[in-house]
């Protein structure tokens, strides 16, 4: 009896103690949960800021990749000139995008065509500075594409002036149409008529097509390098360093981790890994198909074209990597590889234009394919592996029974070509009239390193040769 009584007292004591503890802890726990929720939200915000800063830094490194690709695929005598152009592209890009570019791209909308405030980043808070940093490194990339296509015969002064227009006008205006949320391709009559918004996840058109078709305008006006065509037939002018070209290609490919991965704009996004996986599936497929094509056509796999096949796959998947299944990414990359090979041949044998690095085919033509591929392969918002991702294409592609997404992609593609080629042609024409677009013949023959900058990138090599 005593033991049972003792057990009851102990049980009552424990129950009472438990009630007291719960009563005391509950308010504290509720407060703790609220504080923890705030802390988690702050951590998520901080993670996104850090993610965008890091991804912007990775994209910034792509300028080193562009530099190495361009000097590797051109001749020794123009190395310093190309390095200076690429270096000054990012330097000018930083300042011009701060002063004008951001405002025209993300300022208060004016008729869906252009931004109209925030010049010199007036009124920018910490969040806007993070976005500015990430967008700025994209802006300078468009001008770098032009640099490679017009290499070895273009005036350094003319290129610098053109870069200001590219970063301060050409890129941000089209960017406003696509990425501001208020432009003509994401709201207004075009969208209302078709029924869905234009989709370019990370820049197949905004960056690559704008750069590629601007380059086409410049190349047509500046003309081919001396000796590039003999009786209308293209002559191979070998670059001086395949190791540098391949190193540059791999640096550029790494840059796409920031380019596409960062374009989720959320460091907590659950689909970042899928976006990056699609990106590199397309890259690998692009390189493989070009290797096979050149091997079958000539009996030997072509190194520089194979490297461009990888870049073509990367460019093409940039628009759709957050909207398509992995098998589609492979198909997009394969077709991009075919396009870049055919595009290089078309430029040289039909258009008779001289693009030393294949930039027009890689960025312009493959970028256009990337835009169309959204309208073909996109699974559609609310469906498939990217079902709840805010950045996936709104409409389903042709393969999934939709047609609206394809229709607006065609409209966006046409506008990109007209805008980039048209405005660049006008600017280059004016620059040619005012200061001369092309260097004198004797300067081109001697090399732009000595004539434009007074020094060689490889002085020991030059002295030994002399």
Distance CA 366, CA 209 (A): 8
Q: Is the backbone of residue 232 left (phi > 0), alpha (psi -120 to 50) or beta?
A: left
* 72 CB neighbour count, 10 Å cutoff: 23
Helix (H) or strand (E) holding 442: helix 441-446
Q: Helix and strand tally (H, E) in the chain?
A: 18, 4
Query: What pLDDT is stored for residue 68 in this prediction?
Result: 98
**17 belongs to a structural domain:** no
Query: What pLDDT is stored for residue 459 in this prediction?
Result: 86
Residue whose tokens read 């931004």: 115
Residue whose tokens read 């029924």: 195
Q: What is the dihedral of CA 175, 177, 181, 184, to 10 degrees?
A: 180
Concatenate the DSSP letters of all residues of 170-224 into one string: IHHHHHHHHHSSSSTTTSSHHHHHHSS----SS-IIIIIIHHHHHHHHHHHHH-P
Query: Token digits for 256?
Result: 């796409």
Concatenate the DSSP letters of all residues of 55-112 into one string: HHHHHHHHHHHHHHHHHHTS-GGGHHHHHHHHHHHHHHHHHHIIIIIHHHHHSSEETT
**21 belongs to a structural domain:** no
Under 8 Å between Cβ of 272 and 261? yes
Query: Token digits for 456?
Result: 């060689």
Q: What is the DSSP letter of 125?
A: -
Query: What pLDDT is stored for residue 88 in this prediction?
Result: 97
Query: What pLDDT is stored for residue 383 in this prediction?
Result: 86
**341 belongs to a structural domain:** yes
**31 belongs to a structural domain:** no
Q: Is the backbone of residue 65 left (phi > 0), alpha (psi -120 to 50) or beta?
A: alpha
| Radius of gyration over every alpha carbon of the chain, rounded to an integer in angstroms | 27
Distance CA 151, CA 169 (A): 22
**1 belongs to a structural domain:** no
**8 belongs to a structural domain:** no
Under 8 Å between Cβ of 428 and 216? no
Distance CA 445, CA 442 (A): 5
Query: What pLDDT is stored for residue 142 in this prediction?
Result: 86
The packing angle between helices 272-298 and 326-345, to 10°, is 40
Q: Residue 438: helix, strand or coil by DSSP?
A: strand
What is the domain extent for residue 421? Answer: 52-465
- pLDDT (tens, 9 = 90+) of the chain, 466 residues, equals 444 444 454 545 555 545 554 554 445 455 565 666 677 777 778 888 999 999 999 999 999 999 999 999 999 999 999 999 999 999 999 999 999 999 999 999 999 999 999 999 998 777 789 999 999 999 988 889 999 999 999 999 999 999 999 999 999 999 999 999 999 999 999 999 999 999 999 999 999 999 999 999 999 999 999 999 999 999 999 999 999 999 999 999 999 999 999 999 988 888 999 999 999 999 999 999 999 999 999 999 999 999 999 999 999 999 999 999 999 999 999 999 999 999 999 999 999 999 999 999 999 999 999 999 999 999 999 888 898 888 999 999 999 999 999 999 999 999 999 999 999 999 999 999 999 999 999 999 999 999 999 999 998 765 455 4
Q: How many domains does the chain have?
A: 1
**36 belongs to a structural domain:** no
Query: What pLDDT is stored for residue 188 in this prediction?
Result: 94
Query: What pLDDT is stored for residue 24 in this prediction?
Result: 47
Query: Token digits for 46?
Result: 């901080």
Strand partners, 114: 110
Query: What pLDDT is stored for residue 5 in this prediction?
Result: 47
Query: What pLDDT is stored for residue 1 in this prediction?
Result: 45
Query: What pLDDT is stored for residue 3 in this prediction?
Result: 44
Query: What pLDDT is stored for residue 460 in this prediction?
Result: 74
The packing angle between helices 79-96 and 156-165, to 10°, is 30
- 105-129 confidence digits (pLDDT tens): 999 999 999 999 999 999 877 778 9
Query: What pLDDT is stored for residue 461 in this prediction?
Result: 66
Distance CA 267, CA 361 (A): 33
Please state the pTM of the whole predicted model: 0.90
**19 belongs to a structural domain:** no
What CATH number does residue 243 fall under? 1.10.3430.10
Under 8 Å between Cβ of 150 and 159? yes
Query: What pLDDT is stored for residue 23 in this prediction?
Result: 52
Query: Token digits for 48?
Result: 């996104």
């Amino acid at each position: 009896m005593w033991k049972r009584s003792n057990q009851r007292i102990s049980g009552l004591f424990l129950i009472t103690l438990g009630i007291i503890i719960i009563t005391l802890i509950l308010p504290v726990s509720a407060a703790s949960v609220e504080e923890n929720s705030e802390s988690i939200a702050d951590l998520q915000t901080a993670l996104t800021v850090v993610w965008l800063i890091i991804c912007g830094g990775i994209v910034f490194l792509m300028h080193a990749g562009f530099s190495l690709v361009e000097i590797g695929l051109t001749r020794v005598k123009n190395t310093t000139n190309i390095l200076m152009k690429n270096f000054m592209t990012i330097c000018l890009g930083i300042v011009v995008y701060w002063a004008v570019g951001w405002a025209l791209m993300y300022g208060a909308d004016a008729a869906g065509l252009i931004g109209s405030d925030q010049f010199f980043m007036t009124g920018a808070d910490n969040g806007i500075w993070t976005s500015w940093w990430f967008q700025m490194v994209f802006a300078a990339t468009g001008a770098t594409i032009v640099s490679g296509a017009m290499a070895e015969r273009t005036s350094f002064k003319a290129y610098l002036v053109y870069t200001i227009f590219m970063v301060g006008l050409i890129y941000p205006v089209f960017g406003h149409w696509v990425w501001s949320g208020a432009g003509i391709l994401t709201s207004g009559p075009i969208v209302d008529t078709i029924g869905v918004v234009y989709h370019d996840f990370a820049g197949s058109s905004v960056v690559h097509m704008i750069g590629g078709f601007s380059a086409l305008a410049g190349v047509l006006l500046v003309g081919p390098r001396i000796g590039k065509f003999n009786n209308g037939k293209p002559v191979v002018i070998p670059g001086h360093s395949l190791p540098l070209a391949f190193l540059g290609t791999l640096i550029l490919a790494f840059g796409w981790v920031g380019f596409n991965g960062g374009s989720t704009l959320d460091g907590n996004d659950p689909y970042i890994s899928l976006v990056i996986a699609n990106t590199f599936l397309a890259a690998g497929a692009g390189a493989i198909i070009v290797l096979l094509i050149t091997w079958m056509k000539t009996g030997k796999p072509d190194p520089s074209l194979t490297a461009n096949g990888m870049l073509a796959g990367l460019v093409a998947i940039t628009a759709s990597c957050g909207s398509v299944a992995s098998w589609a990414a492979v198909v997009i990359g394969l077709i991009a590889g075919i396009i870049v090979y055919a595009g290089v041949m078309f430029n040289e044998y039909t258009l008779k234009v001289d693009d030393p690095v294949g930039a027009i085919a890689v960025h312009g033509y493959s970028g256009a394919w990337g835009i169309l591929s959204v309208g073909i392969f996109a699974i559609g918002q609310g469906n498939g592996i990217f079902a709840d991702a805010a950045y996936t294409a709104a409409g389903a592609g042709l393969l999934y029974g939709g047609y609206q997404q394809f229709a607006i992609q065609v409209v966006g593609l046409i506008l990109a070509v007209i805008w980039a080629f048209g405005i660049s042609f006008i600017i280059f024409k004016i620059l040619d009239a005012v200061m001369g677009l092309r260097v004198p013949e004797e300067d081109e023959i001697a090399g732009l390193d000595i004539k434009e900058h007074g020094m060689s990138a490889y002085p020991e090599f030059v002295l030994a040769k002399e």
